[in-house]
Amino acid sequence: MTSRDAILGRIRTALAADPRRPELPPVAQVWPHTGCGVDQMAQRFLAEIGEIFGEAYRVPSMGDARRKLAEIMGQEGCSRLGVMDRPLCRELTAAVAPAAIAWPQPDWTAAEMAELPAAVIEADCLLADTGSAMIACYTPQDRLLCYLPPTCVAIATADRLAEHLPAAWPAIAQRAAAPELRGEFVFVTGPSRTADIEKVLILGVHGPKRLVVLVVG
C-alpha cells in the first residue's frame, strides 16, 4: 500500500463515521426491471432491430438457423464466410463446406478480412430495449469480423436475451473481471449507417451494410 492509499483510506473511514454525514436519497432506477419473459424480450428485440434497418429471426432450432444461413448466403452470393471460432458459430456452420469457411488467423490483415463477403459471429448478449448485440471479442480478428465484411450474421440463443444493459450487467461484469480473459466487448446496434452528407441515410459506410441476428430457441 502506498502512502497515498493510506491517506485516502483514513479519509474514507473518517467520513463514514461522521455523525453529521447526511443520508443520501435512494438512487432512482433509470431502467427498472419489469420482469418480462423471454417471449416478450424476443418480440421487442425483433421490433427494435427492425427499426434500425437490421434483421432478426427467431428460429426454433439450430437446424432452422442453418437453413436461414444458407438462404442468406444464396441471397448475397457468398462463396466464403469468415467465422468466429466460438461454439455456436461452429454449430451454425456445421453444414457449410469446409472450403467455404475461413477461421480467424493471427496473421490476418484488415485488407484480407475486408475481402470476405460475410462474417458469422456469436453474440454473448442481446439487449431487447435497443436491439443491440454484445459480442465478446478475445482477439483483434474477432473484433474486425464485426466490422469489415459487408454482411454480418450473429447467432445467439434465446436465453441470452436481456431486458436492457443494467439487467445484463452482472453477467458482463463477472466475465470482464475474469483474469484469464482478454480483448473487449463490442456492442452492435444494426448495420452501419450515416447521414453526414446532405442528411441522406447511407448504409454500410463504417461497417456491415447488412446485419442479421438469428435467435435460436
How would you write 3-55 as a 3-class SS string?
A: HHHHHHHHHHHHHHHCCCCCCCCCCCCCCCCCCCCHHHHHHHHHHHHHHCCCE
Return the H-helix or E-strand segment holding 111: helix 110-114
What distance in Å separates the CA atoms of residue 153 and residue 56, rounded to the nearest whole number?
10
Give the pLDDT confidence of 21-32 residue by residue, as tens digits. 667 666 567 777
Give the per-residue pLDDT at 204: 59
Domains and CATH numbers, the chain: 36-216 (3.40.50.10420)
Q: The cell 450474421 sits on which residue? A: 153
Give the pLDDT confidence of 81-110 residue by residue, as tens digits. 999 999 999 999 999 999 999 999 999 999
- pLDDT, averaged across the chain: 89
pTM score of the predicted model: 0.82
Report residue 17 as a C-alpha cell.
Answer: 463515521
Average pLDDT over residues 49-58: 95
What distance in Å separates the CA atoms of residue 180 and residue 177, rounded to the nearest whole number?
9
Give the pLDDT confidence of 138-172 residue by residue, as tens digits. 999 999 999 999 999 999 999 999 999 999 998 88
Taking alpha carbons only, the member of 186, 167, 213, 192 closest to residue 47 is: 213
Whether pLDDT at 80 is above 90: yes
